[in-house]
Amino acid sequence: MSAASDKFENDVANALVELGLDASRPKVDSTYSDVLVKHKGKKIWIEVKMNHTDNLGNTRASYDGTKWTSAPEKKGPLKGKMGPLKVYIADMLKKHASKFVKDIQNATGKTKINTNKGPQQRDPDTVNHEEMKAYMKTQKDQYIVTVANQDLGQVVVDHYSKGGKTEAAYYLQAADDFYMLGKENPLGVPSDVPQFKGKGDFRMRVGIRSSMYEIQPEVKVKNMASSRYSLKPGTSKKNPFEHLKK
């Protein structure tokens, strides 16, 4: 996480504190969203993105020789199962990554593609770091899948509100726009706060790090709708939680 994004998340939390709300950016792992509001015995999470172009879903995928998978959730309501984003990614890779799988299997003689460092180093049937790096040098770019004009807005909403996070997030602050994530509205924000939605190109890429590779998604919604509400410091827009001001 960059210092700038870290500051932005803290600024959003402080904007809520200034209203008299119990809000913070707790030190938790990435299975939680960014800003926590405690109100009337409830814990309400808000996801925060500095820009509209930020990646809205972050996970890793692997190919076990027969199918694409992603690590099951470690905590939360879907513990032991893949969350909505991971299921979507595995399905899209099954449909659209067969050429990549076949080509790298032919190039290396190995059947598995694992995004974790251990198997890359120890499993003789897993494409290792050097083999993946050599293969990717023969490609025009790092992307192995690009599928245009997908309903990524719904994928994002499902990820944050239906088990992709340890605790659901109900709201999203992206740049200078505030949205709802799904129909639940535990803090009673105004009815004209827009539901998050939008389409974009679903992409999977191979990220080559110094000692390993990762199969990563890009989930970026194009042309997000403008919201009349925002928690961005210095904004001229309405604060969606003004009705809770103490």
- The pLDDT of residue 1 is 61
Gap between the Cα atoms of 176 and 81, Å rounded: 34
Gap between the Cα atoms of 105 and 5, Å rounded: 39
pLDDT at 63 over 80: yes
Please report, for residues 55, 69, 83, 85, 101, the alpha-carbon distance to residue 59 in angstroms, rounded to integers and kept in the order given.
11, 11, 10, 8, 19
Mean pLDDT of 132-146: 97
Gap between the Cα atoms of 120 and 178, Å rounded: 41
The predicted-structure confidence for 7-37, as pLDDT tens digits, reads as follows: 999 999 999 999 999 999 999 999 999 999 9
169 vs 58, which has greater pLDDT?
A: 169
The strand order across the sheet containing 200-208 reads: 143-150, 200-208, 213-218
- The pLDDT of residue 89 is 97
The predicted-structure confidence for 210-231, as pLDDT tens digits, reads as follows: 999 999 999 999 989 999 999 9
Mean pLDDT of 196-213: 96
Domain ranges of the chain: 3-244
Residues above pLDDT 70, as percent of the chain: 100
